[in-house]
Amino acid sequence: MLRVVGERGGGPDARAPHPAARRGGSALARAAAHHSIRGAQDKQYDLDFKNQPNDGSQKKTAAQMLDIYREFCTKYPMISIEDPFEQDDWEPATVLTSENICQVRGGEGGGAGGWAPQGGSAAVLDAAPAMRRVVAQVVGDDMLVTNPERVKRAIQGKVVNALLLKVNQIGTVTESIEAVRMSKEAGWGVMTSHRSGETEDSFIADLAVGLSTGQIKTGAPCRSERNAKYNQLLRIEEVRHNGVVGCSTPRQEEQVIGLRTA
């Protein structure tokens, strides 16, 4: 079994990503394949960046990286690629987004079967349910840093088609909400995300539900700071199932967001 506990730089060996994709199978398709390339310098991407110094044999140009992503999306049921290029390398990201080459057909390789993230980033094509196709989202994390100004530019340039929502990147909930609003109006998807050095605070679970982002990235349920978010989502669903819709008293608000005061 492929076991990865992520922090920055975590994940399969980028020098030989195809075996990792095969082992991940439909889990990669459903949970979203995160292939974030870091260490780009001088418009080159070092797939051996974890080993320093190295001989430079694994350095790729943006054009070569595009070919790698095309091969990924041809061979494997990818539905989500995050930060495919360095944060200011927007030209190749625009090309990748425009090609709509990453897709999953219902019934292929344990694929998504017509599943599409709420928010419009994954366009479902073809009328017949058995042949429905999901076009993958290209997600901006460091490329956007939840900054409304960068989001605006990316929308205008059609650089990506989904926002990774991290409140800590922009610093305020107000600006985060504005970034989400702009993204949704553009037809993008939105994925609420945890951050490196995460705590057991479960606020992002409430934020994901409150803003109807439809997607949340908070890691495998293997540690308490991750489980805290999933537990909060379960509490929210329990409240919704019990018919508590709308809050008119502080006590009801506490129930909805799962708080327990002394």
Q: Are residues 167 and 129 in the same domain?
A: no
Q: Are residues 52 and 175 in the same domain?
A: no
Q: Are residues 127 and 186 in the same domain?
A: no
Q: Hunting for tokens 């070092």 — which residue is that?
A: 46
The domain boundary, picked from 80, 111, 143, lies at 143
d(CA 32, CA 137) in angstroms, rounded, equals: 9
DSSP H/E element including 134: strand 133-135
pLDDT one-digit tens code per residue, 78-124: 888 899 999 999 999 999 999 887 655 443 333 333 334 334 444 43
Q: Residue 109: what pLDDT?
A: 35
d(CA 89, CA 179) in angstroms, rounded, equals: 20
What's the predicted TM-score (pTM) here?
0.74
Question: Which residue from 42, 48, 136 is spatially nearest to 89, judged by alpha carbons?
Answer: 42
Q: Residue 134: what pLDDT?
A: 52
pLDDT one-digit tens code per residue, 23-59: 443 333 333 333 445 555 567 888 888 888 989 898 9
Report yes or no on 150 lying in a domain: no
Q: How many domains does the chain have?
A: 2
Report yes or no on 248 lying in a domain: yes
Q: Are residues 109 and 164 in the same domain?
A: no
Q: Are residues 179 and 125 in the same domain?
A: no
Q: Are residues 259 and 221 in the same domain?
A: yes
Q: Are residues 109 and 136 in the same domain?
A: yes
Q: Residue 18: what pLDDT?
A: 62
Q: Are residues 121 and 22 in the same domain?
A: yes
More confident residue, 129 or 59: 59
Residue 97 domain boundaries: 12-143
